[in-house]
Amino acid sequence: MEALGELLSPARTRWDVPGTSKKAIFEEVAALVAADHPDLDPGDLIGKLLAREKLGSTGLGGGIAIPHCRLASCGEPLGALVSLREPADFDAPDDAPVDLLFVLLVPEEAHQEHLDILAAIARLFSQPALRSALRACDSDRALYDTVVGWEG
């Protein structure tokens, strides 16, 4: 997998994001991503993320979700990390609401790379100590620095 610092940027990391529904959260994420990557269409991104959720929940358990999709207009894999102001229902296997999301976007043709990155992110966020450290953050920068610098 690419280093997390190559997938994520401070501009695509947001603490205290409002939204209690998947659609509202994805609208916030799409605006965040489009502000950093104006070539990506927010409406297309929202539609793809919602369509992926209809196939099955991207909630992992432990308050984590990894919404992901492939986009034709996405030139390289990129991510967005958000912590939610209020946990939201993501139909996670443990029925716990989600408060931390890593959104993964990959180019349309990146099938195996998509799966490899997704698996690596799932392993990373399955660590309780990382989840606790992220939940203790109180700013965008602290959230970014914590996840990118994580070696646990």
- Is residue 37 among the annotated active site residues? no
C-beta of residue 92 within 8 angstroms of C-beta of residue 60: yes
Q: Beta strand pairing status for 13-17 and 78-88?
A: parallel
Q: Beta strand pairing status for 78-88 and 98-107?
A: antiparallel
Cβ burial of 66 (10 Å; 0-12, 13-18, 19+) is: buried
Distance separating the N- and C-terminal Cα atoms of the chain: 17
C-beta of residue 118 within 8 angstroms of C-beta of residue 107: no
- Exactly one of 37, 68, 111, 114 is catalytic; name it: 68
Nearest 5°: the CA angle 149, 52, 49 is 60
Residue 43: CB atoms within 10 A of its CB come to 10
By annotation, the residues acting in catalysis are 68
